[in-house]
C-alpha cells in the first residue's frame, strides 16, 4: 500500500514538473539571455553573433546580452555554457572551431551533444600577390608537381579550417605543397604579400580589402562553386576540376549552439526565432558587408553536416600528429 502511495506521489510530482516546464516555455524568455562567444571581440564570430542577437531579440521579445569568453581553444566558453541550468538562458557563440574541441581535448563534448544554428561563413580562396608569376591555379599546381614542396602555401594555425582547405586542395590535385602555418590569417596574408609565401588560403571575407586594392590576386575558390566578387568578377571553383576537395568537408561557419538536452518546448521557440532572424535585414547584411554566404541550417540538418566535418577534421589532425588521442577512443567515427 505504501509503495502504491509512493508511486502515485511520484507520478503526481512528474506531472507538476511537466506543467511547470510547459509554463516556463510558454513565457520564455522572462529574463535576459547570455550569449557567450568563444572568440574575441571584433572578429567574424563575434560580429555574426552580435547581429544575430539583435535579430533574435526582436523575434523572441527578450534581451540577449553578448559576452566574450575566450581561451582554451573555445573550451572556456563551452564549459561555461555546458555547466549552466538547461533553461535556454545561456547560449554559445560558436564556429567551426567547435568541431575539433573534442579531439583536441579542449572540452569533453562533441558535435552530437549540442544543437547548432549556422548563420553564415566565408568560402575559402587561394590567392597570390599581384606580382606573382602564377597566373592561374593550374600554373601553381604545375610548379608544385614539378618540384614537390617547393611552393609555399600560407594559412592559419595547424588544424584551422583554412589549413584543412589547403590540405583538401593538395590531396585532391595530388600535389605536395609546402604548408606554412601562421598565428592567424592576417600574418599569412602578410607572408603572401611580402613573398615569404607563394600563396595564401583563407576566407574570401578576410581577403576582401587586399583583393579590392589589387594586392592579392585570387586564383580559385577551394569550393565546388565559383564566387562572384563585386567589381572584380568571377573567381573560378577548384572543385570543378578537383571534386575530391569534398573529401575533407571543412568549411567556415559562424553562429550559435545550445545544449541538445535543453527542454523541447524551449528549443522550439529558439528554432522559430532563428528562422525569423535569418530573414532580418541586419543578418542578411552579413552577405554584402562581410562577403559571407548565408546558411540558415539548424537542428538535425546542421548536426549531420557538422558531424561529417568533425569526423574528417579529427582524423586528419590525428594523422598529422596534432591530436594526441585517437578519435575512435573518443567515439568519433572515421570517415
d(CA 155, CA 243): 21
Confidence of residue 308 (pLDDT cuts 50, 70, 90): very high
DSSP state of 119: E
User: Between these two residues, 16 and 148, which has the higher pLDDT value?
Assistant: 148
pLDDT at 42 (0 to 100)? 85
Give the pTM: 0.86
Confidence of residue 43 (pLDDT cuts 50, 70, 90): confident
42-48: long-range pairs with CB below 8 Å, 24+: 44/95, 44/122, 44/203, 44/205, 44/252, 44/254, 44/290, 44/292, 45/93, 45/94, 45/95, 45/254, 46/93, 47/286, 47/290, 48/119, 48/120, 48/254, 48/255, 48/286, 48/292
- Residue 317, in any domain of the structure: yes
CATH code for position 173: 3.40.190.10
Query: How many domains does the structure of the chain reveal?
Result: 2
User: Between these two residues, 1 and 179, which has the higher pLDDT value?
Assistant: 179
d(CA 253, CA 70): 18
User: Between these two residues, 94 and 20, which has the higher pLDDT value?
Assistant: 94
Asked if the model's pLDDT at residue 56 lies above 90, the reply is: yes
**Same domain for 102 and 30:** yes
**Same domain for 278 and 203:** no
- Residue 10, in any domain of the structure: no
User: Between these two residues, 227 and 11, which has the higher pLDDT value?
Assistant: 227
Q: Which of 218, 247, 276 is the last residue of a domain?
A: 247
- Residue 195, in any domain of the structure: yes
Q: What is the pLDDT of residues 116-134, one digit of tens each?
A: 999 999 999 999 999 999 9
**Same domain for 240 and 130:** yes
- Residue 17, in any domain of the structure: no
**Same domain for 155 and 95:** no
Q: What is the pLDDT of residues 239-271, one digit of tens each?
A: 999 999 999 999 999 999 999 999 999 999 999
Q: How far apart are the first and last CA of the chain?
A: 56
Asked if the model's pLDDT at residue 10 lies above 50, the reply is: yes
C-alpha angle 144-159-90 in degrees, rounded to nearest 5 = 150
Element (H, E) at 17: helix 2-27
**Same domain for 81 and 113:** yes
Q: What is the pLDDT of residues 164-185, one digit of tens each?
A: 999 999 999 999 999 999 998 9
Asked if the model's pLDDT at residue 105 lies above 50, the reply is: yes
pLDDT at 1 (0 to 100)? 45
Mean pLDDT over the full length of the chain: 93
Percent of the chain with pLDDT over 70: 93
**32-36, 39-43, 90-94, 271-275: lowest mean pLDDT where?**
39-43
pLDDT at 108 (0 to 100)? 97
Residue 68: φ, ψ to 5°: -105, 120
Confidence of residue 290 (pLDDT cuts 50, 70, 90): confident
CATH code for position 30: 3.40.190.150
User: Between these two residues, 295 and 23, which has the higher pLDDT value?
Assistant: 295
pLDDT at 263 (0 to 100)? 98
How many Cα atoms sit within 13 Å of 197 on the Cβ side?
27
**Same domain for 113 and 30:** yes
142-147: long-range pairs with CB below 8 Å, 24+: 144/175, 144/176, 144/177, 145/174, 145/175, 145/176
- Cross-strand partners of 125: 202, 221
Contact 126, 166 (CB under 8 A): yes
- Reported residue count of the chain is 335
- Residue 138, in any domain of the structure: yes
Structural domain for 169, as ranges? 124-247
Q: Which of 247, 262, 297 is the last residue of a domain?
A: 247
Asked if the model's pLDDT at residue 233 lies above 60, the reply is: yes
**Same domain for 138 and 205:** yes
The three three-digit cell numbers of residue 63, written as one number: 534581451
Q: Identify the three-state secondary structure at position 141.
A: helix
User: Between these two residues, 8 and 153, which has the higher pLDDT value?
Assistant: 153
- Residue 71, in any domain of the structure: yes
Contact 102, 314 (CB under 8 A): yes
- Residue 3, in any domain of the structure: no
- Comparing CA positions, the residue from 67, 61, 137, 73 lying closest to residue 100 is 73
For the purposes of burial, counting CB atoms within 10 Å of the CB of 7, is it exposed (0-12), middle (13-18) or buried (19 or more)?
exposed
- Residue 312, in any domain of the structure: yes
pLDDT at 7 (0 to 100)? 52
pLDDT at 127 (0 to 100)? 98
**Same domain for 274 and 236:** no
Residue 190: φ, ψ to 5°: -60, -40
- Comparing CA positions, the residue from 173, 176, 177, 168 lying closest to residue 197 is 177
Q: Which of 194, 220, 247 is the last residue of a domain?
A: 247
**Same domain for 204 and 287:** no
Confidence of residue 2 (pLDDT cuts 50, 70, 90): low
pLDDT at 46 (0 to 100)? 94
Amino acid at each position: 500500500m505504501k509503495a502504491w502511495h509512493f508511486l502515485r506521489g511520484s507520478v503526481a510530482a512528474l506531472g507538476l514538473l511537466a506543467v511547470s516546464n510547459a509554463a516556463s516555455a510558454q513565457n520564455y524568455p522572462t529574463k535576459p539571455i547570455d550569449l557567450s562567444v568563444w572568440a574575441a571581440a571584433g572578429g567574424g564570430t563575434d560580429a555574426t553573433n552580435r547581429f544575430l542577437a539583435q535579430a533574435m531579440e526582436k523575434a523572441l521579445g527578450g534581451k540577449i546580452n553578448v559576452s566574450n569568453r575566450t581561451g582554451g581553444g573555445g573550451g572556456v566558453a563551452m564549459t561555461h555554457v555546458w555547466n549552466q541550468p538547461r533553461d535556454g538562458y545561456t547560449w554559445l557563440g560558436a564556429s567551426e572551431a567547435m568541431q575539433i574541441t573534442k579531439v583536441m581535448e579542449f572540452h569533453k563534448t562533441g558535435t552530437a551533444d549540442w544543437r547548432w544554428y549556422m548563420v553564415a561563413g566565408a568560402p575559402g580562396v587561394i590567392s597570390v600577390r599581384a606580382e606573382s608569376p602564377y597566373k592561374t591555379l593550374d600554373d601553381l599546381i604545375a610548379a608544385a608537381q614539378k618540384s614537390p614542396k617547393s611552393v609555399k602555401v600560407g594559412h592559419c594555425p595547424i588544424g584551422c579550417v583554412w589549413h584543412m582547405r589547403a590540405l583538401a586542395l593538395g590531396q585532391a590535385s595530388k600535389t605536395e605543397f609546402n604548408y606554412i602555418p601562421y598565428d592567424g590569417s592576417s600574418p599569412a596574408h602578410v607572408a603572401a604579400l611580402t613573398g615569404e609565401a607563394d600563396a595564401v588560403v583563407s576566407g574570401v571575407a578576410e581577403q576582401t580589402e587586399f583583393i579590392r586594392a589589387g594586392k592579392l590576386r585570387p586564383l580559385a575558390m577551394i569550393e565546388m562553386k565559383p564566387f562572384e566578387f563585386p567589381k572584380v568578377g568571377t573567381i573560378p571553383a577548384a572543385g570543378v576540376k578537383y571534386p575530391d576537395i569534398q573529401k575533407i568537408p571543412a568549411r567556415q561557419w559562424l553562429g550559435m549552439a545550445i545544449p541538445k538536452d535543453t527542454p523541447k518546448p524551449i528549443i522550439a521557440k529558439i528554432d522559430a526565432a532563428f528562422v525569423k532572424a535569418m530573414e532580418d535585414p541586419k543578418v542578411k547584411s552579413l552577405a554584402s558587408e562581410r562577403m559571407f554566404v548565408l546558411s540558415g541550417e539548424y537542428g538535425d540538418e546542421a548536426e549531420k553536416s557538422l558531424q561529417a566535418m568533425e569526423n574528417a577534421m579529427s582524423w586528419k589532425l590525428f594523422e598529422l600528429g596534432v591530436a594526441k588521442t585517437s578519435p575512435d577512443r573518443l567515439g568519433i567515427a572515421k570517415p
